[in-house]
Structure formats: C-alpha cells, structure tokens
C-alpha cells in the first residue's frame, strides 16, 4: 500500500494510540533542549502530533507549541490531552499544504514518529521556510529493537508473519540497535537546508501482556491495513505463545534515534 494511504490509517485508532504507544525517554527531551539551547517560552512547531504523545512533555515545560495533525480524530484527541495548556494549539491539516500566519517563524520544528510519512519532495524545503537561519529541525521515532538478548517470542511470532506472507524478507534477526544506520542524518545534509548538529540513540524495554501487545499492534499501519483473517490468526498466535509463559508477558525492546539539524 502507498505511503499516502498508510499514513491515514492511524486516525482510525485515535482513541487507543496514546495509551498503547510507549512514551519517549525523558533523556531524549533533555538532549534535544541541550543541543538546541532552547528554553521556554520558545515557539515550537510539531508536525504529525498524533494524540499529543511528544507534545505533552514539552508543553509541561512551558513551550509555546503549534501542533499540526493530518487526522481529525487524532487532532481531537490531542486537543483533549492538551486542554490545560493554553499556549498549545492543534491544527488539523496536512503539513505539506498548511500555512501559518504571515511572517511566522518557529525556533524549532520537530516530528516524532511522523517524519517518514511526509512527502520527501516537500518536507525539508517546507521546514526550512518555517525556520530562521540558525533555527532547528529535530526528528525522532520509536522502532522495534533487537539487542542480543531480545525476547525469543519474536522469533516464534516472526514465523507466523512469514507463513502468512506478511514478512519483509529480510534476514533474521535484524541487526542490533548499535548497528542500525541513521538515514535521517544523511537526508538532512543532502537536503541542502540543514547541517546535523547532534544525533543520539536510546534503547529501552517494556513488558506487555497479550492484550496490551495486541493493542500496540493495532496502532501500526501494516496491522491496521492487514486482511481481517490474517490479523485474527496473528492475534490468536500471540495469545497462544504467551499463554504457556508463567507470567503471560513478553518483553519488547524499543529504540529511538534523535537527529537534530540546524537551518543554514
């Protein structure tokens, strides 16, 4: 399925996204502010805020934030989450075509688990147009990590994906986090608009029951778009594999890579 279609699927799970998705590490925000030198009440623009997962931590620090979200249901969830922060506004619009008030510039434009869904021919030039020289662009995400001691549950469930024809064909297991490249840094430099001033990788782990893990899977575009019969079978296998464990839980490792660029 196309990027354009898949990026709209998240709006169908707006009510569960905030709880199901993990919080980003506190150290990420500390490193972001240390790298950019920003302090409240600097003016921030968030692209693809979803229900406010990465908006809330910065709102609590006192930043002024304009959050742009493509999905109407996700934007409404974000407004509810951020209702106690009058310096934060949520706009429902595609970033590629959204326009702020005339002559408005931001100190920082950031995107959390959203940047890859934007039009690659538009996003860097658009970001540069909304930042002054010396302003910053920051991008990070949250991906499945496979350290050497990753939970064997994922090898077992990968066989189910492969048998259903839903595997990606890549070698198993994936490389550990420290061997994963950061393609975003190269994109920043290649855009001609930004120079990279900081990168940092974070790895953490969370435990999930079967129901909690299925709730998480239900927020991934590939699972939302999966045929119902395949998705039902996959979730039955999740329950089966965890039912034989004494605590009925799995451990999933996460990794996030923060890339910060300065506007030339």
117 Cβ neighbours under 8 A, 6+ residues apart: 3, 6, 7, 48
- Listed by start position, the domains of the chain span 3-263
Query: What pLDDT was estimated at residue 6?
Result: 66
Largest CA distance in the chain: 60
For residue 10, what pLDDT is reported?
A: 86
List b or e across 54-74, with b for residues whose CB sees 16 or more CB atoms inside 10 angstroms: bbbbbbeeebbbbbbbbbebb
Q: What span, in angstroms and rounded, lies between the C-alpha atoms of 172 and 157?
A: 12
Sign of CA dihedral 77, 82, 83, 86: negative
What does each of the 264 residues of the chain score in pLDDT, given as a tens digit?
A: 666 766 778 888 899 999 999 999 999 999 999 999 999 999 999 999 999 999 999 999 999 999 999 999 999 999 999 999 999 999 999 999 999 999 999 999 999 999 999 999 999 999 999 999 999 999 999 999 999 999 999 999 999 999 999 998 899 999 999 998 888 999 999 999 999 999 999 999 999 999 999 999 999 989 998 999 999 999 999 999 999 999 999 999 999 999 999 999
φ/ψ (deg, to 5) at 80: -65, -45
Predicted local distance difference test score (pLDDT) of residue 180: 87
Whether the pTM exceeds 0.75: the reply is: yes
Confidence at residue 183, expressed as pLDDT on a 0 to 100 scale? 84
CATH fold group of domain 3-263: Rossmann fold (3.40.50)
pLDDT at 2: 67
What pLDDT score does 65 carry?
98
| Cα radius of gyration (the chain) | 19
> CB atoms < 10 A from the CB of 227, how many?
10
Provide the 10 A C-beta neighbour count for residue 144. 13
């Amino acid at each position: 399925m196309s990027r354009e279609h898949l990026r709209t699927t998240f709006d169908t799970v707006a009510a569960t996204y905030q709880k199901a998705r993990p919080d980003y590490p506190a150290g990420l925000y500390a490193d972001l502010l240390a790298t950019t030198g920003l302090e409240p009440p600097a003016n921030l623009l968030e692209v693809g805020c979803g229900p406010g997962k990465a908006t809330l931590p910065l709102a609590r620090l006192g930043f002024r934030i304009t959050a742009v979200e493509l999905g109407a249901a996700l934007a409404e969830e974000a407004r509810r989450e951020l209702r106690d922060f009058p310096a934060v506004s949520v706009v429902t619009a595609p970033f590629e075509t959204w326009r702020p008030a005339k002559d408005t510039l931001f100190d920082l434009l950031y995107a959390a688990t959203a940047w890859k869904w934007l039009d690659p021919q538009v996003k860097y030039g658009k970001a540069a147009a909304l930042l002054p020289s010396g302003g910053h662009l920051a991008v990070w995400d949250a991906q499945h990590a496979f350290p050497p001691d990753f939970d064997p549950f994922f090898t077992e469930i990968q066989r189910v994906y492969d048998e259903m024809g839903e595997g990606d064909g890549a070698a198993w297991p994936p490389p550990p986090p420290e061997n994963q490249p950061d393609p975003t840094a190269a994109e920043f430099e290649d855009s001609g608009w930004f120079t990279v001033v900081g990168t940092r990788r974070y790895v953490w782990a969370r435990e999930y029951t079967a129901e909690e893990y299925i709730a998480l899977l239900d927020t991934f575009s590939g699972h939302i778009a999966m045929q119902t019969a395949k998705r039902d079978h996959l979730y039955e296998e999740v329950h089966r594999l965890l039912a034989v464990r004494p605590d009925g839980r799995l451990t999933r490792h996460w990794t996030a890579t923060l890339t910060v660029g300065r506007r030339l």
